[in-house]
Amino acid sequence: MYRMLKLNLAERIAEVVLDRPAQRNALSTELMGELLACAGELAARDDVDAIIVRGAGACFSAGADLKDSRRWAIDGAPLTQQRSVASLGLRMARAWEDLPQITIAAIEGYAIGGGLALAVALDWRIAARDAFVSLPEIALGIPLTWGTIPRLVNLVGPSRAKRLTILCERVPSRDAREIGLIDEVARPGGTRAAALSLARRVLALPRHAVRMSKEACNAYANRGALATSFMAHDQLLLAAASAESKAAREAFLLSRSRATAGRSRAPSPRRKTARRSPNPAPRPGRPDKTAAAAGLVARPARRLPDTDS
């Protein structure tokens, strides 16, 4: 039924996988449309009480797809169509926020821009220790929309919400947990297992009391959200059409293209080989490779890739 999503159902838990790993699960209009439809399908199911959302491959989502012509090349379309496309993210995030079931984001790698906007629309967020989150919209000349700012303010307070939104900083998962943006930190590769464990704890509780409690929390937290986000899609249209916004997006895509080309042209270093004894002693100040392979010595952190918005 879905082309860019995978939906698995088992034991009252639904698992939704953003399935564009080659594009780092970037949120195209097609994928957002499928997420909107999937939320509608799950809301109507009486056999699901917890939902896990994760990304295929190495990350949760790199955010809005800046190469999606259906989203960014619509200047000549009728205004009704432009507003419909611009409001898609807002409608998608609201549909996921309004689900009666408990929803959990399992974040490996990173959740950027629209990816983080989707994650904060869910009830809880679990991130890997080596993951990070970021909101680069302003650097790309567009405001943060999709109803995300009221959700951020609810989670971290107005001062931190402004810093996250305006400075476009990358926030490691541990720091994000300290400020309340992330609920739990798991080992790399372990967020799905942690999310399943949390979901099973929910299933052990009386379902109607859980649902009514979620509804009450959301009703109080979102009592002023509509007043700040009902025109968000029009703000997005206005800002995205500006010359500074177009220049920022073009510069970003150009820098990514150059970086990718540079990596592909870089020659692989030739390594000299030398005979070694079967069990050489480790050099002073360097870890024993056998110990490292056994997990007794910490390996260096892997370099995280650059991301889209």
Mind listing the pLDDT tens digit for each residue in 11-32? Answer: 999 999 999 999 999 999 999 9
Range of the domain at 33: 5-252
Asked whether residue 243 is assigned to any structural domain, the reply reads yes
Is residue 280 in some structural domain?
A: no
150 lies in some domain: yes
The answer to whether the CB of 96 falls within 8 A of the CB of 38 is no
Structurally, how many domains does the chain consist of? 1
Task: Report the pLDDT value the prediction gives residue 228, as an integer from 0 to 100.
Answer: 67
What pLDDT score does 139 carry? Answer: 87
pLDDT per residue as tens digits for the range 265-308: 655 555 444 444 444 444 444 443 333 333 323 333 333 344 44
Question: Is the residue at 10 inside a domain?
Answer: yes
Q: Cα separation of 110 and 305, whole Å?
A: 9
Please identify which residue in the block is written with the tokens 């979901």: 199
Any idea what DSSP says for residue 14? E
Average of pLDDT values for 61-84?
76
What would the pLDDT profile of 43-56 be if each residue is shown by its tens digit?
999 999 999 999 99
The per-residue pLDDT for range 124-176, each reduced to its tens digit, is 999 999 999 999 998 888 888 899 999 999 999 999 999 999 999 999 999 99
Residue whose token pair is 């629209």? 114
For residue 98, how far is the Cα from the chain centroid?
18
Angle, alpha carbons 96-98-100 (nearest 5°): 100
Is 269 a member of any domain?
no
Residue 288 CB partners (closer than 8 Å, separation 6+)? 282, 297
Q: What is the pTM of this model?
A: 0.78
- What pLDDT sits at residue 265? 64
Residue 122 CA to residue 110 CA, distance in Å, equals 16
Q: Is residue 86 included in any domain, yes or no?
A: yes
Q: Which residues are within 8 A (CB) of 292 and not within 5 positions of it... i.e. 6 or more apart? A: 299
E strand or H helix at 171: strand 171-172
CATH number of the structural domain spanning residue 201: 3.90.226.10
Name the band, by pLDDT with cuts 50, 70 and 90, for residue 42: very high
Asked if residue 276 belongs to a domain, the reply is: no
> Average pLDDT, stretch 255-263?
66
Write the pLDDT tens digit of every residue in 161-219: 999 999 999 999 999 999 999 999 999 999 999 999 999 999 999 999 999 999 999 99
